[in-house]
Structure 1
Amino acid sequence: MTVNRPLPDPQLLLQLDALRDKAMAAETLGALAFSMANDLYPLLPFHQALVFEQGKVGFELLCVSGLAKPSEDSPYLVWLKRASRWLAERLTEPGPAWLTLTNAQPPEDIAEGWSEWWPTGLWCLPLHANAKRLGVLVLLLEHPPAPQVFQQLDGLVRTWAYCWAALTRRRQRGRWRPSRRQLLLTLLIGAGLLLVPVRQTALAPAQIVSRQAQIVSSPIDGVIAQVLVRPNQPVEAGTPLFSLDETTLRSRAEVLGKEVAVADAELQAASQRAFDNPQSKSELTLLQGRAQQRRAELAAVQAQLRRTQVLAPAAGVAVFSDPNDWLGKPVSTGERIMHVADPAQPAMLIQLAVADAIALDAGAEVTLFLTAYPLNPLKGRVLETSYQARPGDDGVVAYRLLASIDQQAEHARLGLHGTAKLYGGRVMLGYYLLRRPLATLRAWSGW
């Protein structure tokens, strides 16, 4: 006797066929998961659908029905991460499973969240390919589905699994992973490159100075009254550079001049009295010494007055800052005011930081890249280096190096700044790259 089974509803077949078409048209795994979580609702109404991907440890949430991108810090998703780990351990069979609080018996923390966020049961539809679980679709339902429902959805679930496996392979093909042979070959090439000899170099700030520069300092204590030259102005030997205020010295000279006149008058009067008064003869020596003392003091003040006008010691260029910075400023004897530099003998003044210092041979090569002329570097060689590093104006402890400029360049003007590249001996590329990290490691570890 033949049993006639009822044919499926044509409308159901059309809907299943449309879902298969959407699955086949998905270009990414996220698009496929979104279709699985949302497009099944017309056929099987549910409270919520969750799509998980099988990870190394447990399930990883891909999509939640009704949400384009769930908020990761919501309390529900925080609890759902814990629940997914428990669910991955609970689902061991390849077929669909109906789980409730009664038959699943979850832990206490999972059961509390289940009672708060989930309905009575979970219908879990695992997706497999080549005996490997790819993921799972979890439908939150109040009642278990009828047995014929899975028969109707079995073909759709297989289509989802096939598309999932294809998209996963495509994603894995996009990630290139080298083979062991390629890794070994890369390591050998890298090790060989580290042994290649290269020229050791270092970069340091530098400026152009003169090899023949004389310091012009204040000859006496006083106040600068006038600066007679401009910065970088050419001067000749004997050209007035600046002058000090003479008011105090002239007043002192006038007072001493009167004191000299008084001392001379007292000496002359005592000399006249000495003919008749023997006691006046004993005062002559004292008065004569006092007159000489006043004359010596007057001569000293007059000498200081002549030194208030400071002249250029040699021909060159006056190198100093803004004249307004010096006008009215008190200065002491020997305080540096400016330089008189010879522009015909330029040189490089290099400040090599201690952290960047390298071993330099005598006459090491130097290339200076000026900020104003970056395409016209200047070549030279190291002339002298400081024995001890000292902190500069910027607080960086550095060695002071002086280097020559080989060619006569018009743009080698005094005061220009740039970056100097110093060339040392040849070392291996590995040492060149790891020198500073190794020095830092030794300073930190003491090894």
Structure 2
Amino acid sequence: MEHTQDSSLTNLVSALEARARAAGNLAELGFSIANDSYDLLAFRQALVFDGDKAASRLQTVSGLAHVTEDSPYLIWLCRVWPWLQEQFGHQPGWYQPVADDAAMPPEIMAGWREWWPAGVFALPLRKRTGETLGWACFLLDNPPTEQQAKNILHVSLTWSYCWEMLQKTNNKPWFDRLRTLSSGRRWLAVLAVAALMLLPIHQTAMAPAEVIALDATTVASPLDGVVKTIHVRPNQPVKAGEKLFSLDDTTLRNRLEVAQQSVAVADAELLATTNKSFDNLQSKSDLAMLSGRTFEKRAELAAVQAQLNRIDVVAGHDGVAIFGDPDDWLGRPVSTGERIMLLADPKKPGILIHLPVADAVSLDIGDPVKLFLTVLPLSPLDATITETSFQAVLSPTGVAGYRLRAAFTNTNEQARIGLRGTAKIYGDRVALGYYLLRRPLARVREWSGW
């Protein structure tokens, strides 16, 4: 019977070692240590810590797929673990506090009574050089038997070796790997990287963009007044001569009546003075003044009539009326020349690009652009730059940038005015090394001043 039990323990130890060797990374190894060893030690909970002393951190908790460090228990555990390490030193062993243990801080004793059983059996996992890689802790109701301690210490040697090998595989710096190469291969690697850094590529920049009309006509207020009526809807196609909006004519109608009465009075005075001039020399001298006043009043009347004729603004050509909400314009005072809307030709769309200053690259007229519309992200539209700017202005989002305009290479019905997206701009060809280091070098220069 004893021989059968020893054989079973040997098989269990071999199985634990095989699972440790099968781990593909440190996370899998920690999971195996915290969960697969239950058959060897009937623990209440198992904990695996990565590192040693102040650098030690909780990696795995038995029964949990992920460690949530904001739970009250784990917050307390992070406080108690540095103190426990001091009690163990760097040796495996069993620790069980006593009721009147003055060396244990009160907050640790309170948490122990709430969350932990009688004691903890901890063993360090070391490199072959003796350096501590991590810790495995098992919370038990009773101290482990001599046979259990012997078996778990034996398995811990395999855990330590696997941990060391996985750590070398996962965390080996690239320069350490380079050192393992022969001198010839190192030179080949350096030459390959240098050749790759000289590979010519286009400078590129990404910027928000909007489809606009290239030859849009500004429709402005012809005189000072108040908007009375908007005759069209936003983005509505219109024909040449069709009414777009009208200004309120109340003030002008009143001025027209006053001007007409002034002309009638001036004409009557001129006629009366003309009749008197045949017998009265004084009347003859007043004729020139009254005649000039009559011409003045008629000119004022003509000016008011001309303004009345301009209160209805019509489209100068066929196109699409582009403006905001009509309700925002109704009853709004406007001044002469203030833009109300744009009259655009939908058959001649273009792109307005706001290139942030931080992302600016060297650009010339004719450089290619790809527009990725938000509604069609997988179908880029080709265009070329037709206009650049040298002065940065604020974009609608409040970001300082350069305004660029581009024309589509081919006519595309998908490019409807008003659609937005992201433009990818291709600048001059530069070496890959310059492309990768351009912004870091600019930051260093700003910081250093050279």
In the superposition, relative to structure 1, how do residues 290 and 404 fare at CA in structure 2: closer, same or farther (>3 Å)? Answer: same
Q: Distance in 1 between matches of 2:222 and 2:12?
A: 95
CA distance in 2 between counterparts of 1:247 and 1:311 reads 20
- The residue identity in structure 1 corresponding to 2:230 is V
Counterparts in 2 of 1:164 and 1:190: CA distance versus 1, 3 Å:
farther
For 2:349, give the aligned amino acid: P
Question: So what's the TM-score if we normalise by structure 1?
Answer: 0.71
> Among 11, 30, 34, which residue is 2:34 paired with?
30
**Which residue of structure 1 lines up, in the alignment, with residue 157 of structure 2?**
165
| 1:213 and 1:340 in contact (8 A); partners too | yes
Q: Is residue 2:177 matched to residue 1:182?
A: yes
SS in 2 for 1:439: helix
Kept after mapping to 2: 8 A contact 1:16/1:156: no
Q: Distance between the aligned counterparts of 2:161 and 2:207, measured in 1?
A: 53
Count matched residues: 406
CA distance in 2 between counterparts of 1:424 and 1:276 reads 90
The answer to whether structure 1 residue 211 and structure 2 residue 214 are counterparts is: yes
Q: Deviations over 1:211-246 (max 9, x none)?
A: 322211110111222223333333343333222121
8 Å contact from structure 2 (residues 33, 136) kept in 1: no
- Separation in 2 of the partners of 1:200 and 1:50? 54
Q: Which runs of 5+ in 2 are unaligned?
A: 20-31, 114-118, 180-185
CA contact (8 A) 2:34 2:47 kept: no
Instruction: Give the match for residue 83 of structure 2.
Output: 82
Q: Is the CA contact (8 Å cut-off) linking 1:210 and 1:414 kept in structure 2?
A: yes
2:427 corresponds to which letter in structure 1? G
Provide the identity percentage. 41
Aligned mates of 2:418, 2:83 — CA distance in 1: 68
1:413 aligns with 2:416: yes
The alignment's TM-score, normalised by the length of structure 2, stands at 0.71
User: What is the CA-CA distance between 1:73 and the residue it aligns to?
Assistant: 3.8
Please state if 1:237 is matched with 2:235: no
Does residue 71 in structure 1 map to residue 66 in structure 2?
no
Looking at structure 1, the residues matched to 298 and 123 of structure 2 have their Cα atoms a distance apart, in angstroms, of 117
C-alpha displacement of 1:32? 7.6
The amino acid that maps onto 1:248 is T
Q: Secondary structure at the match of 1:71?
A: helix
Task: Summarize the alignment of residues 54-203 of structure 1 with structure 2, pairs less than 5 Å apart.
Answer: 56-57=52-53, 71-74=73-76, 78=79, 81-82=82-83, 84-85=85-86, 87-88=88-89, 153=146, 156-175=148-167, 176-177=169-170, 178=172, 182-183=177-178, 188=190, 193-203=196-206
CA deviations 1:168-220 (Å, max 9, x no partner) are: 22334444244866345697465654443222111222233333222111101
- Measured in 2, the distance between the counterparts of 1:420 and 1:131 equals 57
Deviation string for 1:289-326 (max 9, x for gaps)? 33222212111101100111212223333322343332
Tell me how far 1:360 sits from its aligned partner. 1.5
Q: CA deviation at 1:261?
A: 1.0
1:440 CA drift (Å): 3.6
Distance 2:418 2:108 in 1: 77
Q: What's the offset of the Cα at 1:254?
A: 0.6
Partner of 1:263: 266
Q: Is the 8 A contact 1:97 1:123 kept in 2?
A: yes
Report the alpha carbon displacement of residue 157 of structure 1 after superposing the two structures with TM: 3.8
Query: For 2:73, what is the secondary structure of its paired residue?
Result: coil
CA distance in 2, matches of 1:49, 1:406: 68
Q: Distance in 2 between matches of 1:77 and 1:343?
A: 66
